[in-house]
Structure 1
């Protein structure tokens, strides 16, 4: 089945949908049984896709989990109330006191905080590593290393990791590999085909696609799925059937949305490459981007998230840039249909294993589904405000 067809039909098993196109929204806490035999069967199968108790899932949850597995791979998919919960739930499923975690230095800032605070307090040690280390990760593995965590492309600076090389080393040392695959979504990168054991998505982003639901997923291969599934249940993670339904609906259009995000971004990038204020554009599709060769090798496309490193500028000038934009609104998420802008004045503050080589501020953009001409005009006005403020 071609990917466009799979997007439309994934998870639409008649046992979940009945006679409707979409799976019904099945809200449940208690599941009731007519006979002791039914109750015993459900209890024995409670780790599988059998209604047992609301937190274990309903038809709505099972259909969506199946769809994610069909699109991304994996033997099973656990659902969480947000992407950060999926990350913490996955890590806590496989780490315990005395264990060692290798964490990529470009990781999502809340994941770094989780490592430096909660995991540290639980006696789990974290070592941050250069995202471009590749097979060199071997030198950092200790006897008590249990997990290597990847995020590719990385947050804000978006270096692309050599996932197959890292996974090969991890397998040789019996170390589990987790990947935050949110940037690529289930479409643009196939984690399990490249050796990843657990793949995590902030489904809030491109899967939902409409900026109206918080949701996370963690899928695992056959070896690790039973442990991830049971740990997630014991930690109390679950998601609203209404939110899961909206995520399933958003999933049906992810292919056409991502294609349009990519097309719009290409036009905006062509404009940005002409701007003299920019020291570096960070987007994996560009030939000079760190990890571009791996991106071309492993990914099937790109999306609308990119960062601009400005040559200079202070807080006042950056404020002038981001305030007053018509289409790019300030916000901390991305992956919806709208364009967004955020900024960071000191990236070194959230890096410990690598040195950030630029002194200028960084502006992150999400290119939405608006007309690229309008977005370019919005950016042109922003640069004008930025330059006028610097000159004043």
Structure 2
């Protein structure tokens, strides 16, 4: 079957892992280039349909007509990476998400938390299936990496590297990262955060000529508590060649999510068997519990306990245990692709 993804391919290659093992053909293109021959329309990231820009009411009306037209020939499936747009405080994408919920024929949930909490928002005749996020296996074997050290001026030799490879989208997430880092009881620790997004708002009362200074001051909020010899912050997308090298060098990874439903960072860490600080949120909870990995509970504030347990995983040879390896195989891209194919066939009545 031809599977139409009505937006450009995201830089996150998780779907590529599935496509490699799938029996079906995936086509990425602008939503206006839909063809009646497409059996399935699989929407991954709703915001990408309009190039990550909030659509106007006119655009939404036209897109609704497209959805109605698609349903005459194809089945529309939404992979629920997010229930709403990340940190969309002005709710600019809310109408787009609601429009999709109204017309989709099937939903792929990345965990039972998603299924249990969000199934009610979709039509009664909508089919639902839990299919987990795949590992990033294509980055593991024979992947050509470039030294991350070449990108930065800091000396990483003999350092206990703590990395945060996902985008940091809010001050809340940044505070969370720094709080954990400061509690790690290791002298030679070094924090690397490659992508801190420019999430801080500049108040209207700040004069134009002072805005750039205000912005710099806010971006460094909290960082002054860290010695410059212990951290390196960046604000750019890191190509996988460098990112993989960083992950391999990391002694510990922090999953920086506070309110998210899913995080590919967890599965990137699992791909390379890395100790991780995993918050007890959304679908992350199910995967971590399945693999018997410690979870950080915000209400309990069990930072010290979780950090201690996570740091002991490698010394206890947990990542080479048969139990861990068997459960990790559940997330192999081959299995995830098979689950996608079965669901596609089912929804088409094949």
- Compute the TM-score of the two structures, normalised by the length of structure 1: 0.29
- Compute the TM-score of the two structures, normalised by the length of structure 2: 0.31
